[in-house]
Homo-oligomer: A and B are copies of this chain.
Amino acid sequence: MPDRGRPRDVRADRAILASALELMAEQGVHALRIDDVAARAGVGKATIYRRYRSKDELVVEAVGKLIDREIEVPDSGSTRTDLLVLMREAVGFYGETLAATVMPSIVDELSRNEELAALVRDGYLKGRRAALQVVFERGIERGDFHRELDIEFALDVLAGPLFYRLLVTADPLDDALAQAVVDLIMRGFAPT
């Protein structure tokens, strides 16, 4: 009997996630208190725990909402331009306060939370990587890259420095970074 009883209140769904994201952005994932989420959302704690089995799961879902963005494959005719568009989009996204604040905790969570790992890897990364893959394949056709290009590795090179700065060195994510990475890719993987 799936549809019996009072249905879940969609406004509560939204209020909970919104409050959680706000609080995470304000004080960090670490300092997130379920009681605070409930209070800000104007909701009982049970209403949260009916939706998420634990605080971790709430964080997962909130992050899921945060990173759930449609990505479209650019097609300017120029491989360099297309890569730059995608890199700038990524730099812009991870440069946002909320994403930047939350990401370290997410990464930590990834290592012990299979569910979150699946969500992030399959739901988010896969999409971005697929878009980039198309661009790389077009690049190969155009003769911008040599034919043995290891696309997986190329993707790691695009994303790696960005995450390294975000998570480890705390150096700025800016347009210069996007350009430098794309330049390196164009040169380093050019046909011999």
A165 within 8 A of B: yes
Q: Which residues of B contact A110 (CB under 8 A)?
A: 104, 167-168, 170
Which of chain B's residues have a CB closer than 8 A to the CB of A120? 168
How long is the Cα–Cα vector from A169 to B170 in the complex, in angstroms?
A: 20
What per-residue 1/0 map shows which CB atoms of A148-192 lie under 8 Å from chain B?
A: 001011001101111111011111000001001101110111100
| A39 in contact (CB, < 8 A) | no
Residues of A within 8 A of B (CB): 28-30, 101, 104-105, 107-108, 110-112, 117, 120-121, 125, 150, 152-153, 156-157, 159-165, 167-171, 177, 180-181, 183-185, 187-190
Question: A163-B163, A180-B150 known; A30 and B108 CB under 8 Å?
Answer: yes
Name which residue of chain B comes closest to A5, CB basis: B44
A interface, over-half SS: helix
Contact A125 B168 (CB under 8 A): yes
Give 29 CB contacts A-B under 8 Å.
A29-B108, A101-B111, A104-B108, A104-B111, A105-B108, A105-B111, A107-B107, A107-B168, A108-B108, A110-B170, A111-B170, A117-B170, A125-B168, A125-B169, A153-B161, A153-B180, A156-B160, A156-B164, A156-B165, A156-B177, A159-B164, A160-B164, A160-B165, A163-B167, A164-B164, A183-B188, A184-B189, A187-B188, A187-B190
- Contact status B107-A167, CB under 8 Å: yes
Chain B residue nearest to A129 (CB atoms) is B169
- Give the distance in Å from the alpha carbon of A108 to the alpha carbon of B100 in the complex: 11
Closest B residue, CB atoms, query A190? B187
Given A104-B107, A157-B184, A183-B188, 8 further pairs, Cβ under 8 A: A28-B111, A110-B167, A111-B167, A125-B169, A152-B171, A157-B181, A163-B167, A163-B168
